[in-house]
Amino acid sequence: MNDFWITLLISFKLAFLTTIILFIIGLPVAYILSFKEFKFKSVVEALTTLPLVLPPTVLGFYYLIAFSPDSVIGKFVDKLFGIKLVFSFEGILLASIIYSFPFMTQPLMSGFRSFPKNIIEAAYTLGKSKLETLFRVILPNIKSSVLTAITLTFAHTIGEFGVVLMVGGSIPGETKVASIAIYEEVESLNYHEAHKYALILLLISLFTLITLNLINKKLDYGTYK
């Protein structure tokens, strides 16, 4: 495989893994933030939304400081698992998870919050546990929110630039992703290669959005009432 395809592959591997891991972490977080009341809830909520407004370089900078091999956490993870958290694929994966977090939780939370409370209560009066209600009643009825969350997370991770560059350092075959490649090709006036990357990303983004719209139309069960 040549460099072009390897770079694209890293982009998609990163987006794919980020989306899966974020769905597993984001679902319970979004559920708790939507339905439970607890102390410092607004602080937790602000922290999960922070990456939306924070410049990616600020996040990347603090990430480097927190997880570098000289830091406490960096040393600990390296010793325990033998994993380096900066300038490695695992590093950009963790950074992506942090950076894309709100893109998973926000659509899920708006889905949870707009779902009629009495349908949830109806399930409880029918003897269904909270977990069963979540998976058999709530999620099947907010499929479009789930789909939006997954698509946004995936697309956002594909398009990441600043954080991945700072944390990953653009190492070919390891942390160099398509969005960075385009920048580098343009820098070296290699427009032909840049075109190839850009066109593929453009087509995939367009295709994803069209599919999303089509599926969303099919998922409609009418209004809640």
Partner 1 sequence: MITINVQKTLLTSTGKVVLKFNETLPEKRFFSIFGNSGSGKTTILRMIAGLTKPDTGFIKVGDEIWFDSKKNIYLPPQKRKIGFVFQDYALFPNMTVKQNILFAMDKKDLEFLDYLLKITQLKKLKDRYPYQLSGGQKQRVALARAIARKPKILLLDEPLSALDIRTRHILQDEIITFHKELNLTTFLVSHDYSEIIKMADFVFVLEKGKIVKKGKPDEVFVQSKISEKVKIVGEVLKIEKEDIIYILTISHYNDIIKVIITEDEAKDLKVGDKVLIAVKAFNPIIFKI
**Residues engaged in binding partner 1 (CB under 8 A):** 116, 118-119, 121-129, 136-137, 140-141, 221-225
Closest approach, Cβ 119 to partner 1, in A, equals 5
Minimum distance from CB of 14 to partner 1 (Å)? 33
Residue 165: closest CA among 101, 98, 92: 92
CB nearer to partner 1: pick between 148 and 157:
148
User: Minimum distance between the CB of residue 27 and partner 1, rounded to whole angstroms?
Assistant: 18
Which residue, 117 or 192, has its beta carbon nearer to partner 1? 117
3-state helix, strand, coil in the chain (%, to 5): 80, 0, 20
In the complex, the smallest distance separating the C-beta of residue 90 from partner 1, rounded to whole angstroms, is 38
d(CA 197, CA 203): 10
In this complex, which beta carbon is closest to partner 1, that of residue 79 or of residue 225? 225
Buried b (16+ CB within 10 A) or exposed e, 86-99: bbbbebbbbbbbbb
Half-sphere exposure of 138 (CA within 13 A, CB side): 28
Q: How far is the CB of 129 from partner 1 (least distance, A)?
A: 6
- By beta-carbon proximity to partner 1, the closer residue of 82 and 127 is 127
Measured from the CB atom, is 82 or 222 closer to partner 1?
A: 222
- Tokens at 54, concatenated: 């924070």
> Closer to partner 1 at the Cβ: 142 or 178?
142
> 184: how many CB neighbours lie within 10 A of its CB?
17
Nearest-approach distance from CB 17 to partner 1, in angstroms: 29
Which residue type does 54 have?
Answer: L
Buried b (16+ CB within 10 A) or exposed e, 1-25: eeeeeebbebbeebbebbbebbeee
Query: For residues 31 and 33, what is the distance between their CA atoms, to the nearest angstrom?
Result: 6
